[in-house]
Structure 1
Amino acid sequence: MTDQRASAAARPVAAVGRTLFGRGTRREDRRIGEILRKETAGGVLLIVATVLALLWANSPWADGYTALRDTTLGVDVLDLELTVGRWASDGLLAIFFFLVGLELKREFLVGDLRDLSRAIVPITAAFGGVAVPALIYVLVTAPSGTETLRGWAIPTATDIAFALAVLAVIGSHLPSALRTFLLTLAVVDDLIAIVIIAFVYTSDLQIGYLLAGLVPLALFGLVAQRRERLFRLRPGAAWVLLLPLGVATWVLVHASGVHATIAGVLLGLTVPVRVRTRTPESHDEESLAESLEHRLRPLSTGVAVPVFAFFSAGVALGGAEGIRATVTDPVAIGIAVGLVAGKTIGVLGTTWLLTRTTRANLDPAVGWPDVVGLSVLAGIGFTVSLLIAELSFGTGSPHQDHAKVAILTGSLIAAVIASIILRARNRHHRRHAIHRVG
């Protein structure tokens, strides 16, 4: 492996072709470093929220947890009378998906993914990391009937907050290209998940409400694109118009039968991501996307996602009998195997195929053991996996509870295995760094 990397480094760039896991632009590296710091803190909060939910749901006071989660709030208009748990998954999680929309647009317009030669690797790896877990799930659950097949998309998601938290704790000397690749892979993974949620898990579509939702969405985009020219407002003052239009879009999309988090994505895609040229009249050095992200990411990572996790992860294990029912449920088996084995095979396999079928090579700083560890790390599925589990099986269904336990278990196994591999690789890269300095 060392010889392969050395020979790749020695050949001219034209002979080598594309470089897999190469470094991004300097601006992209700074942005990813900032996201790493925020998402790492979010990962810690996710863990705390999950542990608290599991402890409460399996304590003598479990009825209190259930009562709180199932408390109904809202008004009986446009299907806005929801439980607290539904408000967390349909409402608060829309903030998370709004940021996903911003990230998608930025990556494909001004980020490293605008370059097809650079984008093809994480895009292909993301599709492999979705297809293989889904196939494994279908193979495991198909003999059990069509009902279990509804959960085929559950093991396809990667939770970027958890994955980056693990990488940040153990990866002080890992190549920065690995972090860049993990983040961009997760962005594409989120895009696939959004398409799945929108087209697979939409039932009883109310086309009138959906068309009506296009009106505030278009106005939101108009304000976002022309806020200075039309209103002469400071960027922060645009909230007075953007927030009501965003809420109106969410309400109408929710009433249409499309999952309301899709409204967050659509709103995010309307926001301009390019930095405006500085003029004597304007000292705004940030795009509106960057401005909104700075304001909303702490709310997403610190409140929205942990609160969703708290109300979604509180599953009563049911003692020995409940655990036995979970480990024998094909749904749980398919999810756990899909996350741990499917993600690894999908991400690693597609990356390996690229090196064998194209002129692409690994970056000289990256070895295949690094890619193996990163592929296992992609098996940490949480936020989107839990959401798809709720959409796949009805509330109170044993399959839903078993699916959530499998998500937590599979993610934990993937995190432990990835930590072992990447910690060893981190020591390897640290020794080489010391050797180079010496």
Structure 2
Amino acid sequence: MSLKRHYCQLGFASESMLPKAEGRWDSFCRGLRKICQVTDLHPETKEHFRSYPALVNERKINLMRGCNLIHPMSVARFQGQVHFKHSDGKKTSCWLFTSSYIWHGAVQLTVLFMMTTHWCGCLVYLPTILFYYWFGHMSSNYNRFLKESERDLLQLDFITRYQLGTFITLSTFFGTGFTLFLASEPEELIVHAFIILFSTVFMVYILVFLLKVYMTLFSSTIRYNELMNQVKEYMRHKQFPVPLQKRVKTFYSQLYQKRYYKEESVLECLSEELRNEITLHTCRVLVDKVTLFKDVPASAVGSVLGCLKPEVYLPNDPVLRAGDDGNCMYFIDYGTVAIYSLKGVEVCHLEDGAHFGEVALLMRDSKRLVTVVAVEITQLYRLDDIDFRQYVFTNQILFERIQTLASQRMHEAVLVDRQFQRDREKFNEKPIEFSETSI
């Protein structure tokens, strides 16, 4: 049996979940509704709907909400006509307030910039004010930037003076203010030089803050890009073929979601109780989907979840092979797998929340009876044989449910193989008729 590409042998309904069209107008309306549904061609679809069943479920919800709805991840995606609200919309709107470090730093810098601009704008007139209070009259040698004959500050209103000082300060901050500040006296040149020096230091401080914010926000993304650069260099050095390079890149992209982190480093400092709580939270969707855990004590479920190890499989990757020794079972977090019998007949598909591989753990010879192949990108949780015997065998409810389901699956696989054998025998016994034209 070739496992390079999956050709589904099971008859499913339409992927769009729409009724069949009976005429041209119905076909036209059906096409419009189809392009308004969520599609896997959208680049952001996999971020919200990681498996095909989740995509189909979203299409059902889309149809229930109304025929005029245009999904933001559809082919006909228009920014002004979207009526769909993501489940993480609240998180997006509250991001500014939850990121306290960045928010407080931005507010602090804004206030500091406004105060600095104000005081530097006032500092421009310092030599003139000191001369006035010292000698009692305005000197004509100062304030050449006013471009007036007498250059008397008392003849100008407060708003005009403040606007001009602020304009000179902002121009100096952004590196264009020296030519605007016409001065010949040493006092004014010293004040302006101080403003230039202070503005340079302040702008460097802002630049450092922005770099720090960028490194804080995109640290995991930067590490992921560094990791991918190493992977690309490794594949180039080993001369990987292009299809294999694409599969490796897809695997890393699915595993890390373009953000690199070390889970061991994050969890090693936590207490055991906190780790178990994180495990339950991480696998809460799995617990809700798996009917095996229904009405099972939380302590037993937590013990099983604590032993699960995540694994990612790409489309057409074999997960299990018939005839191999079975040393673990799997739970499907998201994705779809195809089940093949010993004779290579496709039996069924298993989707989110299903589990497989437990039959071999209950048999004496521990041999796999079926072959399991990933149909799409699938994340599984592996439960090893040692943990299976320690936690599942000791729990009567779990053991009875798995034993019943294993017997049912073995029976179904045997029936499929027998039917396949009968169909083959009938095909071989059927005589081959030759027509005169073929002869």
Place the TM-score, normalised by the shorter chain, in its bin: under 0.3
Structure with larger Rg: 2
User: Whose strand fraction is larger, Structure 1's or Structure 2's?
Assistant: 2
Which protein has greater RCO, CA pairs closer than 8 Å, 6+ apart? 1
User: Whose helix fraction is larger, Structure 1's or Structure 2's?
Assistant: 1
